[in-house]
Chains A and B, each alone.
Chain A
Amino acid sequence: MIEVKNVSYRYDDRAALDGIDLTIDDGEFVAIIGANGSGKSTLAKNLNGLLLPTEGRVLVDGIDTRDDVWSVRARVGMVFQNPDNQIVGAVVEDDVAFGPENLGVEPLEIRRRVDEALSTVGMLEYRGAAPHKLSGGQKQRVAIAGVLAMRTKCIVFDEATAMLDPRGRSEVLSTIEDLHRRGLTIVMITHHMDEAARASRVIVMDGGRIVKLGSAREIFSDVRWLKKIGLEVPAAAELGARLRLKNILSADDLIARLKR
């Protein structure tokens, strides 16, 4: 559904993306990892026309982001890192309605979509609440509902769990997995390997390029290489590597293996 063709992007005189080629299929769950400044957010913003490539093309369902950015944004939604800075409405349901209102959807249909989106993320009972009274995880779920109500086919999460406590993080992660099961295409940018491990495909970025691409197990088997390109490696994975055990991503993996 998304084709990135030889895309480069420069901020003023600084190259942030350098010849990216990538195809994301309908219904796929892709994770993007990479050190700070490796170009993950820049790539994400190129996927829905928030930034337009300096060179190359991005096609969403065959539509070039240069030609019709609004049709592209109606297909690819985005959830950002800071839960406080992406909610527009002073009441939860008004915020969720914001996207469909912009798309010119009929009022009754908006009402239906808002209720449906809020119940999908488990926030229906908070529809009348003020956003600033919610927890971080709840705010992110409201932001997700705001994208769902637009009926996009794909959602890009740019470190959507980075500012949350463990509880909020797991709320948001299980929501994302649920959406994937419902058939949405998911692109998830993260610094956490245990999060990336849930994806069917992991993309590793370094210096504006895609340097590795494969299943989570393949990517995470080489702990030394990951550390070399500046990625945080979970303590369990590192210990696993030192013990010369393969495929250790979390403490649970490690315990299971050591018990054997």
Chain B
Amino acid sequence: MFQDITLGQYFPGQSIIHRLDPRTKIFAVFALLIMIFSAATSTEYFFLTALIFFFVLLSKIQMSAVVRSLRPLKWLIAFTFVIHLFSHEGAELFRLGVLTATVDGLRAGLLISLRLMLMIVASSLLTFTTAPLKLTDATEKLLTPLKAVGVPAHELAMMMTIALRFIPTLFEEADKIIKAQKIRGLDIERGNFVKRLKMMVPILVPLFLSAFRRADDLAMAMEARCYRGGEGRTHMKSLEITRLDRLAIAAIALIAGAFVMIRMLSV
């Protein structure tokens, strides 16, 4: 039932992208997202698509995995496309009742869908090529300056780690509870929305109860292993900015520069 969740999935590897410091990757993804967000012309989209395609090749992640990362959002993409298709003025393409599809609408719809897909692929590249622990460590490091204004950097990172550890366990447990309740005659696949929502109660209540139990046990186990917050803690896998990272950051800066130039030329 929960098999095709790729959320936060990591594919171990040794590619250049894998070897980058997670902070470099987070920075690069942000830069890419800003570029994708500000792209307007087909030239710019073409440039960014080619760029991200190149990054996927560099990462040696299988294309099928990249395509799979788009699947959970396929309806959002389709919906956005349809909205744009029918909501622009201009030369008529075809009619559907009161709705008119236009050429401009088609163009806008395609570009917006492309934008969404590029954003998803760019951010998936980050989680595909970065071990969860490194990602949380990087989050902690990046948030550390914000500690001064009261952001609990270490606690947030620890929460992410524990969530990543327990999401699969809780999914497995939900699966078990659903099966157990089905045996007792619960039918969750039929009925209207409200009815189905009501059916969730005998699944969610045991799930929550057990989650609280787990949290209790886990807190005890962490304490027994001398956990007392971020103060004085070391990390086995310490993060390190290497020559490769400096190169990558320079490359991203150059790419951003090139992008700005394309923008200015097309205005």
Contact = CB atoms under 8 A, between A and B. Distances in A.
A200 B237 CA distance: 40
Given A70-B228, A85-B221, A88-B218, A107 B235 contact: yes
A175 to B, nearest CB: 18
Interface stretch (B75-83, B157-165, B246-254): B157-165
Contacts of B223: 50, 73
B217 A89 contact: no
13 contacts: A73-B224, A77-B224, A80-B220, A80-B221, A80-B224, A85-B213, A90-B164, A91-B133, A94-B237, A97-B237, A101-B234, A104-B232, A130-B168
Interface string B223-239: 11111100011111110
A89 B161 contact: yes
B112 to A, nearest CB: 35
B234 A106 contact: yes
Given A70-B228, A89-B133, A107 B220 contact: no
Interface residues of A, number: 41
Interface string B42-77: 000000000000000000000000000000000000
Contact of A104 (B132, B165, B233): B233
A101 B168 contact: no
A131 interface: yes
Interface string B201-225: 0000000000001100110111111
Chief secondary structure at chain B's binding surface: helix
Contacts of A70: 226, 228
Contacts of B232: 104
B168 A150 contact: no
A88 B165 contact: yes
Interface in A82-97: 82, 84-91, 93-94, 97
Interface of B: 12, 131-133, 161-162, 164-165, 168-169, 172, 213-214, 217-218, 220-228, 232-238
Interface in A21-43: none
A102 B228 contact: yes
Contacts of B214: 84-85
A142 to B, nearest CB: 12
Given A85-B214, A90-B164, A99 B226 contact: yes
B2 to A, nearest CB: 12
A146 B226 CA distance: 11
B225 A77 contact: yes
Interface in A115-132: 128, 130-132
Q: In this complex, which of B162, B227, B228 has the most chain A Cβ atoms within 10 angstroms of its Cβ? A: B227
Given A94-B133, A107-B238, A102 B165 contact: no
A162 interface: no
Nearest to A73: B226
